[in-house]
Amino acid sequence: MRQQWIFRINTAIIILLVVTGLTLTSKPARAASGAEISKEVTLALETLYASSPAAVELSKVAKGILVFPDVIKAGLVIGGQYGEGELRIGGKNAGYYNTVAASYGLQAGAQSFGYAMFLMTQDALSYLGKSEGWEVGVGPTVVVMDEGLAKNFTTSTAQDDIYAFVFGQKGLMAGIGLQGSKISKINPDE
């Protein structure tokens, strides 16, 4: 009897996760074209810049900006996340990338969010270019900017390799972590 009850609860949670995941994204379940990714990146940067003066200041001195406008994350004990984005150097497209992560532990739900990584040094930019799948947390130093840190931040105090801003969080899952995400170059138009 108890096993049937647990099975029913788990089934209901899985159905909730699938429905939530489907409602978080209006895009069909296929890889986006390069033009679609670029358009979403432009909109995401406009939104980020409108809400964060620190991001605007960093954009003026960053060697490159890697933007993932829509990352989908879902999990029930075992979870995963996926998103596609673009690297911009000097405001121009310098390649397309995806971000993938897996996790396990006490988790249940689904959410979507975006993030932008401001690569401040040539070494950080070179590391991204030469790595065949960069795992965040290995290699260049990444600082995730929250509201408090961003308020007191100036480019003259910028000492780290990469500054990341998370934005547009929607869904039923608490917490966002970039550590352990694997970022790889992709060719979306193939």
Return averaged pLDDT per consecutive 10 residues of the chain, 190 residues in all: 56 48 44 89 96 92 96 82 95 95 75 92 91 79 73 66 88 62 86
* Residue 171, H or E segment: strand 162-171
List CB contacts of 126: < 8 A, sequence separation 6 or more.
none
Instruction: For 33-52, write each residue's pLDDT tens digit.
Output: 999 999 999 999 999 999 99
Both tokens assigned to 120:
């401040």
List CB contacts of 88: < 8 A, sequence separation 6 or more.
41, 64, 65, 66, 67, 94
Reported pTM: 0.77
Amino acid at 161: D
